[in-house]
Chains A and B, each alone.
Chain A
Amino acid sequence: MTLFGGASDPLRSTAKRRDDAAPWRHVDLFIVAPVVVLSVLGTVMIYSATRTPIEQSGGDPTTFLDRQLLFVAVGLVTMAVVATVDYRRLSDGAWLVFGLAVVALVAVISPLGTESKGAQAWFQLGSFQLQPSEFAKPAVIVALAALAARSGGEVSLRRVAQVLAVTALPVGLIYLQPDVGTILVFFAVLGGLLVAAGVKGRHLTVLGLIAVLGVFGMFRLDVLEDYQQARLTAFIDPADDLQRAGYNQNQSQIAIGAGGFAGAGLFEGSQTNLSYVPEQHTDFIFTAVGEELGFLGAASVLALFALLVARVWRAARLSADLLGTLLCVGIMSMLVFQVFQNVGMATGIMPITGIPLPFLSYGGSGTITAFITVGLALNVGMRRFV
Chain B
Amino acid sequence: MKAAVGLRLAVLGVVAVSLFGALITRLWYLQVLTAPSYQLAAEQNQVRLIPLPAPRGRILDRHGEVIVDNRMSTVVTVDRTALDPDHRPVLLARLAALLGEPVDVVATRLDDRRRNPVLPVPVAEEVGDEVVVAIRERPDLFDPKLVSAHQVAVRSYPHGPLAAHVVGYVGEINDRELEAHHGEGYRLGDEIGKSGVELVHEDALRGSVGFEKLEIDSSGRALGVLGRREPVRGSDVYLSIDITLQRSAEVALVDGLESNRARVDRETGRRYESPAGSVVIIDPRDGGVLAMASHPTYDPSEFVGGISFDLFDRLQDPANHSPLNNRAIQGEYAPGSTFKLITATAALLEGLITPQTTITDRGSIRVGNRTFRNAGSRSYGAVALTRAITVSSDVFFYLLGRSFWEEAANREGIQDTARAYGLGTETGIDLPFEADGRVPDAATRRALHAANPDAFPESRWFTGDNVNLAIGQGELVVTPLQLANAYATFANGGNRLVPHVVHRIESSLGRTVFEAEAVVAGRVDLAPDHAAAMLSGLRNVTSSTEGTAVFAFSGFDQSSYPVAGKTGTAQIAGTHDTAVFVAFAPADAPELAVVVVMEESGFGSTAAAPVARRILEVAAGHTEPIVRDLVATPLAGDEEEVAR
Contacts and interface: CB of A to CB of B under 8 A. Distances in A.
Interface of A: 3-4, 152-153, 192, 195-196, 198, 251, 253-261, 270-271, 274-276, 278, 290, 294-295, 298-299, 302, 305-306, 309, 313, 316-317, 322, 325, 329, 332-333, 336, 339-340, 343-344, 347-349
B9 A258 contact: no
Contact of B23 (A153, A294, A302, A329): A302
Nearest to B19: A340
Contact of B5 (A274, A298, A322): A322
Interface string B217-238: 1110001000000000000000
Contacts of A336: 15-16, 19-20
A257 B12 contact: no
B30 A257 contact: yes
Contacts of A275: 217-219
B38 A274 contact: no
A317 B9 contact: yes
Given A198-B4, A257-B38, A322-B5, A332 B12 contact: yes
Contacts of B2: 4
B30 A253 contact: yes
A294 B217 CA distance: 21
Given A153-B1, A340-B22, A274 B11 contact: no
Contacts of B631: none
A85 B1 CA distance: 28
Contacts of B26: 344, 347-349
A257 B23 contact: no
A305 B20 contact: yes
Query: 4 tightest CB-CB pairs across the interface, nearest first?
Result: A257-B38, A258-B42, A295-B31, A274-B217
Q: Which of A260, A274, A332 has the most CB of B within 10 A?
A: A274
Interface of B is mostly: helix
23 contacts: A152-B1, A153-B1, A195-B12, A196-B8, A251-B218, A254-B42, A256-B38, A257-B35, A257-B42, A258-B35, A258-B42, A270-B42, A271-B42, A271-B46, A274-B218, A276-B45, A276-B46, A290-B27, A302-B24, A313-B9, A313-B16, A340-B19, A340-B23
A253 B31 contact: no
Nearest to B41: A254
Nearest to A342: B23
A179 to B, nearest CB: 22
A329 B217 contact: no
A211 to B, nearest CB: 15
B9 A298 contact: no
B85 interface: no
Contact of B32 (A261, A270, A274, A348): A261
Given A257-B31, A313-B16, A343 B46 contact: no
A290 B31 contact: yes
Contacts of B23: 302, 339-340, 343-344, 347
Contact of A270 (B15, B34, B46): B46
B28 interface: yes
Given A275-B217, A343-B23, A3 B41 contact: no
B9 A294 contact: no
B31 A254 contact: no
Contact of B12 (A192, A270, A344): A192
A332 B8 contact: no
Q: Which of A152, A257, A317, A336 has the most CB of B within 10 A?
A: A257
Contacts of A322: 5
B46 to A, nearest CB: 5
Nearest to B23: A343
Contacts of B41: 254, 257-258
A325 B9 contact: yes
Given A253-B38, A336-B19, A196 B217 contact: no
Contacts of B4: 153, 198
A317 B38 CA distance: 42
B16 A260 contact: no
A332 B41 CA distance: 37
Contact of B1 (A3, A299, A332): A3
A239 to B, nearest CB: 11
B13 A260 contact: no
B37 interface: yes
Contacts of B28: 295
Given A313-B13, A340-B19, A343-B23, A256 B31 contact: yes
Contacts of A278: 218
Contacts of B11: 195
B39 A196 contact: no
B621 interface: no
A30 to B, nearest CB: 16
Given A255-B42, A256-B31, A344-B23, 18 more contacts: A153-B1, A196-B5, A196-B8, A196-B12, A254-B45, A257-B35, A260-B31, A261-B35, A271-B46, A276-B42, A276-B217, A295-B27, A313-B9, A316-B9, A329-B9, A336-B16, A336-B20, A347-B23
Contacts of A332: 12, 16
B100 interface: no
A309 B15 CA distance: 12
A299 B24 contact: yes
A198 B8 contact: yes
Contacts of B42: 254-255, 257-258, 270-271, 276
